[in-house]
Amino acid sequence: MLKEFRDFIAKGNVMDLAVGVIIGGAFSAIVTSLVSDVITPALLNPALKAAQVEDLAGLKTDGGILYGKFLAAVISFLVIAFVIFLMVKGLNSMKKKEEPAPTAPAGPTQEQLLAEIRDLLKK
């Protein structure tokens, strides 16, 4: 059982997943900083100061439901998702475009093949 566990851990898929999770955690810090430090201040200029997302967190009902915190999380998610979309789109456009595979030369048609067979049979 220990040998099977060691083999399972040593498989490439598990190691790739671990690396992906670690890189994803580091990438999330970059995206969060980009959104909170660059995008949000650019979108919410001083004229829109009253509409800042952080101000929504204090909104709640008489029953204590913090709907403002939920709205702030939804807005934050949408901004982060849009930024990631733009980053992936930019990375995809930088990738080398694959050239279409050259088409194989067209072979003889069925009529041509039948004519060749006919000619060979005549001989």
Q: What is the pLDDT of residues 1-51, one digit of tens each?
A: 888 877 777 776 777 787 788 888 888 888 888 877 777 777 666 555 545
Whether residue 85 has pLDDT greater than 80? yes
The C-alpha angle 21, 15, 4, rounded to 5 degrees, equals 130
Mean pLDDT along residues 42-68: 64
Give me the pLDDT at residue 49, please.
Answer: 52
Residue 95's φ and ψ, nearest 5 degrees, are -65, 150
Give me the pLDDT at residue 95, please.
Answer: 77
This prediction has a pTM of: 0.47
